[in-house]
Amino acid sequence: MILLFLSGPSPAATTGTIQRTLEERERDIRTHEDILKGLSEQERALFADLQEVEARLRATADEITELETHLDRLRQEERVRLKDYQELDLARAQTSEELGRLLALLWPVHLQGVEHNLQTLTSWDEADRQYNWLSRIYDLVQDRIDQLRRQGRELALGLARLERAREEITAQMLRIEAGKDRLLKQKLEFLRRVQEVRAQQVSAEEQIKEILQSIAELNYRLQTLTSRNFTDLRGHMTWPTQGRVVERFRPQADPPHRGLSFAMSENAAVRAISWGKVVHSDVLRGYGHVVILYHGEDYYSLYAFLNNPLVAVGQEVEKDEQIGVAGRYPKVDGPGLYFELRFQQNPVNPDIWLVAD
C-alpha cells in the first residue's frame, strides 16, 4: 500500500528527490494500467469460453429433450404391443379352450365312427372321407396353435428389443447427464476464474488510486517546499471527505448552491483541505456546528454540520488534519457535510481548487 502522510514540508526533502519519486509513481501507474489491460483481456477471453460452454449446455439439453421424446414414443409403442400381446394371448387361451372342447367332442365321435365303420364297412371311399375330414380339422387346429406360438415368439422378441432400446436410451441419457454435470462444473470453474480476475482488477484499481493519491501528495509537497501561498496550491488540494457528492457548486440555481454537499457514513472524518488557522468553531443558525479556516490571501474554507469538532479557534492545522466528523445534514437526511471555499466574502467553485477526483 502506498500512502504518504505529511505534517508539513520536510527540511531534508529536495525537489529533485520528490521529482524522481513522482517519476517512479508515474511508471507505477503505467505498469498497473498495463496489468488492468491484461486482466480485461483475460476477462473477455474467459467470457468467450463461457459462452461456448453455455452453447454446449443448450445443445446437450436439446439432445436430452429429443431422447426423452423418442423414449416416450417407444413407451407408447410398447404399450400398444403389450396390448396386442395380451389380446393374442387371450385369443390363444380361448382357442386352446375351444380346441379342448372340440377334441372332447370329436374323440368319442371318432371312436364311434371307427367302431361303426369297422362293423359296417362297406366302402373304402366312405372311410377315406371320414378320415380326411377329421385330419383337416386336426390340421386346422394345429395351424392355429402354430400361428399363436409364432405370434407369441414375435411379441416376445419385440418386447425384448423395446426393452434393450429403452435400456440403451436410459444409459445414453445417463452419459449425457454426466457430460452436462461436467460442463456445469466447467462453467463454475470459469466463473471462479472470472471472479479471481475481477478481484485482481479491483486490487489494481485500488493500487492506482493510492498511487494517484501519492502523486497528489507529492505535487502538493513540491508546491509547499517553495511557497506557502494558498493560490500556488490550486488544483492540488485534498478533498474534505471521501463521501459522495450529492450537489456541486451551482450559484445560479434557485435557491443558489454555493459549495459542495456530501452524503457520508456515520462518524466519517472531515479533514482540512490545506494548512490554515481556525477562525471559527461554533454553531451557526441553519448550518449546525461550523468550522472556518483562514488560508491567507483572503481565502477561507467552511465545513458545516459537523459533529464532535476537534479544533478550537486560534489553532493552526495542516492539510488532511481531521477537524471533526460528519453530523446530521438535513439535505441528505443523514450524516453529511456542506463545504464552501470563499475568496474574501465571495464563494468560489471548489472543483478547480481540489485535486481531480
Mean pLDDT (whole number) for 235-259: 91
- What are the strands, taking DSSP E only, across 153-308? 244-247, 260-263, 269-271, 276-284, 288-296, 299-307
pLDDT for residue 200? 74
Q: What is the pLDDT of residue 119?
A: 52
Identity (one letter) of the amino acid at 168?
A: E
Which position has the higher pLDDT, 57 or 111? 57
Quote the pTM value: 0.44
pLDDT at residue 8 tops 60:
no
Stretch among 1-10, 144-153, 159-168, 239-248 having the lowest mean pLDDT: 1-10
Q: What is the DSSP secondary structure assignment for residue 261, as one 8-state letter?
A: E
Contact present, 268 and 329 (Cβ < 8 Å): no
The more confident residue out of 192 and 53 is 192
Mean pLDDT within 54-76? 72
Least confident range of 116-130, 134-148, 166-180, 332-346: 116-130
In this structure, of 188-197, 238-247, 268-277, 280-289, the range with the lowest mean pLDDT score is 188-197
CA-based torsion, 251, 252, 256, 260: positive or negative: negative
pLDDT: which is higher, 280 or 225: 280
Closest CA relative to residue 243, chosen from 305, 200, 193: 305
More confident residue, 333 or 183: 333
**pLDDT tops 60 at residue 115:** no
Question: Residue 279: helix, strand or coil by DSSP?
Answer: strand
For position 247, what pLDDT does the model report?
A: 95
Q: How far apart are CA 275 and CA 75, in angstroms?
A: 87
For residue 273, the model assigns a pLDDT of 93
The pLDDT, as a whole number, for residue 4 is 34
Choose between 316 and 17: higher pLDDT. 316
3-state secondary structure of 80: helix
Q: What is the pLDDT of residues 170-213, one digit of tens each?
A: 776 777 677 677 777 777 777 777 777 777 767 767 776 776 67
Mean pLDDT of the chain: 76
